[in-house]
Amino acid sequence: MGQQKSSELAKVTNSGAILLGNIFEVDSFAGKPVRVVSHFHSDHTILLSKSGKFASHILATPATIEALPLMGFSLPEDKLLPLEYGRSIKFGEDSLVLVKSSHVIGSAQVLVETVDGSRVGYTGDFKFPGTKIMSDLDVLIIDATYGEETMVRPFKNEVDILFSDLVSELLSKGKPVIVKGYHGKLQEAMHIMRRFGVEAPFILPEKVYELTKLAEKHGLKVGNYFREGSEEAVEAIKGGWFVYLNHANSRKKTPFVASEVVLTGWFFSSPLKKIYENGSGERWVVALSDHADFEDTLYYVEEARPKKILIDAFRSSREIAEAFAKSVLRRLGKEAVVMPDSHGIEEED
Ligand SMILES: [Zn+2]
């Protein structure tokens, strides 16, 4: 540990900013010189336009920088600073590295090293495999969306193939399939379906289409996907053999009858479940998550062995964050602090 107290080196503010060292605000505004965006989801782009005014730079992976306009942000071009995974950049006396994480296209963990050698890191949203564990940290700030001991997906290694087989089976019954999920997860879902033999064309609304193009540019294989309204899409819809991918919150009525598969992380009892079946088709939920479950979150802490652990209670529920802190204490014998809370912010160590 260097001269700075760890409580000053890393914290989660009441507005959800992750502060690492003296220069960087991550995922929300805090008036710091440099804004970092761990990934393009809305709970990680809080007050981004405000940072666009006040910060000198907006820093993220190239894929995230390119995704921001698609998510509706118009930021000053000259402030945008794309940084590849693993490259170090120095501002003032602090240096920063974006570390690969598996969550959505372009998602990153943030690692900061201060002049006195202190190392502080924020996981952002992550899951395994594909997330590199940051070690030798003085402070680790971890996301614990599914931090309760019951939130375990023992089937998580099989769900990809089960999901793809379900889509194939529903298509074989003669109706198209609608897959619903969040941005980023939809692109991963398409990649998974292609890997496990779903060959039907994918029809995508504008925003999903643009994000898919971006994902392919950055290395995710999908193929055979079309913008809704294009000639190819119209043809495919006439033929009745296609998969339509739609954002989970979209209220848009689709002009065709289809089976529906909803992708959700909030489901733990089985990989798949049929909700109902009626004349217009079947409706299923699939437990495909882009977040670590409880066991994987605990595994991260165990492997990283940080000197101090902070749990982000701004993005996950406070109850879950507190339950995770208890589990860390009981299972790993380590103290973990939930932040922000009424005491945590002013707390000295
Ligand atoms: Zn996310």
Beta strands in the chain (DSSP E): 10-12, 18-20, 24-26, 34-36, 57-60, 80-82, 88-91, 94-100, 108-113, 119-122, 139-143, 177-181, 202-204, 225-227, 243-247, 259-263, 272-278, 281-286, 308-312, 336-339
Q: Are residues 130 and 259 located together in one domain of the fold?
A: no
Between 182 and 346, where is the model more confident? Answer: 182
Q: Is the pLDDT of residue 347 over 60?
A: no
pLDDT of residue 323: 98
How far, in Å, is the centroid of ligand 1 from the Cα of 235? Answer: 34
State mean pLDDT over 69-78. 98
**Is residue 132 situated within a structural domain?**
yes
Q: Are residues 132 and 11 located together in one domain of the fold?
A: yes
**Is residue 64 situated within a structural domain?**
yes
Structure tokens at 227: 């913008």
Q: Are residues 27 and 143 located together in one domain of the fold?
A: yes
Instruction: Print the domain residue range for 73.
Output: 6-151+291-339
Q: Is the pLDDT of residue 241 over 90?
A: yes
Q: Are residues 173 and 272 located together in one domain of the fold?
A: yes
How far, in Å, is the centroid of ligand 1 from the Cα of 281? Answer: 31
Q: Point out which residues pair with 57 in neighbouring strands.
A: 34
How far, in Å, is the centroid of ligand 1 from the Cα of 317? Answer: 14
How far, in Å, is the centroid of ligand 1 from the Cα of 103? Answer: 7
Q: Which residues contact 13 (CB under 8 A, 6 or more apart)?
A: 19, 28, 30, 340, 345
| Stretch (H or E) spanning 325 | helix 318-332
Identity (one letter) of the amino acid at 62? P
pLDDT digits (tens, 9 = 90+) for 88-141: 999 999 999 999 999 999 999 999 999 999 999 999 999 999 999 999 999 999
Confidence grade of residue 341 (pLDDT, cut at 50, 70, 90): confident
Q: Is the pLDDT of residue 349 over 50?
A: no
Q: Point out which residues pair with 111 in neighbouring strands.
A: 97, 121
Q: Are residues 26 and 126 located together in one domain of the fold?
A: yes
Q: Are residues 334 and 248 located together in one domain of the fold?
A: no
pLDDT of residue 279: 79
**Is residue 245 situated within a structural domain?**
yes
How far, in Å, is the centroid of ligand 1 from the Cα of 141? Answer: 15
Between 8 and 270, where is the model more confident? Answer: 270
How far, in Å, is the centroid of ligand 1 from the Cα of 110? Answer: 14
**Is residue 199 situated within a structural domain?**
yes
Q: Is the pLDDT of residue 53 over 90?
A: yes
Q: Are residues 207 and 121 located together in one domain of the fold?
A: no
How far, in Å, is the centroid of ligand 1 from the Cα of 246? Answer: 17
Q: Are residues 333 and 269 located together in one domain of the fold?
A: no
Q: Are residues 280 and 222 located together in one domain of the fold?
A: yes
How far, in Å, is the centroid of ligand 1 from the Cα of 30? Answer: 20
**Is residue 347 situated within a structural domain?**
no
How far, in Å, is the centroid of ligand 1 from the Cα of 41? Answer: 5
- How far is it, in rounded angstroms, from Cα 63 to Cα 42? 16
**Is residue 345 situated within a structural domain?**
no
What string of H, E and C letters represents the secondary structure of 254-286? CCCCCEEEEECCCCCCCCEEEEEEECCEEEEEE
- Under 8 Å between Cβ of 225 and 242: no
Please report, rounded to a whole number, the percentage of residues in the chain having pLDDT higher than 90.
Answer: 91
Q: Is the pLDDT of residue 348 over 50?
A: no
**Is residue 48 situated within a structural domain?**
yes
Looking at the structure of the chain, the number of domains it has is 2
CA atoms within 13 A on the CB side of 37: 37
Q: Flag the least confident range among 1-15, 91-105, 179-193, 237-251.
A: 1-15
Confidence grade of residue 280 (pLDDT, cut at 50, 70, 90): confident
pLDDT of residue 3: 56
Kindly report the CATH number assigned to the domain that includes residue 107: 3.60.15.10
Q: Are residues 295 and 146 located together in one domain of the fold?
A: yes
How far, in Å, is the centroid of ligand 1 from the Cα of 185? Answer: 9
**Is residue 1 situated within a structural domain?**
no
Q: Point out which residues pair with 337 in neighbouring strands.
A: 310
Q: Are residues 268 and 300 located together in one domain of the fold?
A: no
How far, in Å, is the centroid of ligand 1 from the Cα of 128? Answer: 14
Q: Are residues 144 and 14 located together in one domain of the fold?
A: yes
- How far is it, in rounded angstroms, from Cα 35 to Cα 75? 12
Q: Is the pLDDT of residue 281 over 70?
A: yes
